[in-house]
Amino acid sequence: MQPRELMRATDVIRRIGSSFYFHPDTLARGRDAGLDRFPLYVLGRGGVLGDVEPGVVSAAFGYFNPTLIQQVWSSAKKLLSPRDAATLYIECAHHVGRSTFSELDGLDRFAAAASLIIGSVEDSSLPMFAGVRAEPVPTDAPAAAMHQAMVLRELRGSVHLLAVVASGLATPVAHAIKRPDDFVLFGYEQAPDVTDADRAKWHRAEELTDELLEPAYGSVSDAQADDLVAGTDAMAAALGL
């Protein structure tokens, strides 16, 4: 299987890797720690970066209105340290993996194939990916599979953000192109006007994302690619995606 074919065949990993974000069990853990839904997301996801200034988190996330991130990050870290929030959030990912994927076969092979892809990437200029890749991977297959799906999601997201900037497209415009219905949800009052030139840059960013990820996805054998696809399909089905 060619690298881009493998990317397309496992595209749902981005949804698997984020499926724990607002899971009821995750939200319950957050409430126990004093964090509501969105503060938990911002502090938990961004906490792998450490106790940094809000602008660092905003730069690593991309897309969100920096003012929104500043407000949420600054208030949430008064309730829980960013590192502790990251640990809690990733434990929630592992919990969802264990509770949802315990009956699935082959997830050890999925995790092994994912680890090869993840380990082959140079993480310069990819802070969110670097932060989450540095977190320990569980030893049990269901939790490890969810963990590595989360890391693969951050890998593509980080590379795509890099590609957007390299293509000369402002991130709010990129977000308005990709997810126009969610623009206000990300902290903006009004979507910007999008031109044909903006859309051309967007398509270039999509192409560049695939181009930059090709070496990593080309690092696995055909058998390992099959393991990655099979595991992805099984997890997606278990989550109803």
Q: Tell me the three-class secondary structure of the chain, residue by residue.
A: CCHHHHHHHCCCHHHHCCCCCCCHHHHHHHHHCCCCHHHHHHHHHHHHHCCCCHHHHHHHHCCCCHHHHHHHHHHHCCCCCHHHHHHHHHHHHHHHHHHHHCCCCCHHHHHHHHHHHHHCCCCCCCHHHHHHHCCCCCCCHHHHHHHHHHHHHHHHHHHHHHHHHHCCCCHHHHHHHHCHHHCHHHCCCCCCCCCHHHHHHHHHHHHHHHHHHHHHHCCCCHHHHHHHHHHHHHHHHHHCC
Query: Region 15-36: what's the mean pLDDT?
Result: 97
Checking if the pLDDT of 63 tops 90, the result is no
Which pLDDT score, from 0 to 100, does residue 191 have?
Answer: 76
Assess whether pLDDT exceeds 80 at residue 181.
no
Regarding predicted confidence, which is higher, 173 or 20? 20
**What is the structure's pLDDT at 65?**
87
Instruction: Give the Cα separation of 171 and 1 in Å (integer).
Output: 32
| Position with higher pLDDT, 193 vs 20 | 20
- How many domains, the chain? 1
Q: How buried is 238 (Cβ within 10 angstroms: 0-12 exposed, 13-18 middle, 19+ buried)?
A: middle
C-alpha distances in Å from residue 56, one per residue of 89, 131, 188: 19, 13, 19
Lowest mean pLDDT among 129-133, 173-177, 213-217: 173-177
Give the pLDDT confidence score for residue 182 in this predicted structure: 72
Angle at 47 between CA 228 and CA 77, to 5 degrees: 150
Domain extent for 227: 3-239
pLDDT at 199: 95
Residue 17 has pLDDT above 90, yes or no: yes
Give me 70's structure tokens. Answer: 């500043």
Question: For residues 61 and 128, is the Cβ–Cβ distance under 8 A?
Answer: yes
pLDDT digits (tens, 9 = 90+) for 26-46: 999 999 999 999 999 999 999
Predicted pLDDT at 185: 72
For the chain, state the CA radius of gyration.
18
**CA quadruple 204, 219, 90, 182: dihedral, nearest 10:** 20
Would you say 173 and 194 are in contact if contact means Cβ atoms under 8 Å apart? yes
- Mean pLDDT over residues 119-128, rounded? 94
Query: Residue 188 has what pLDDT?
Result: 77
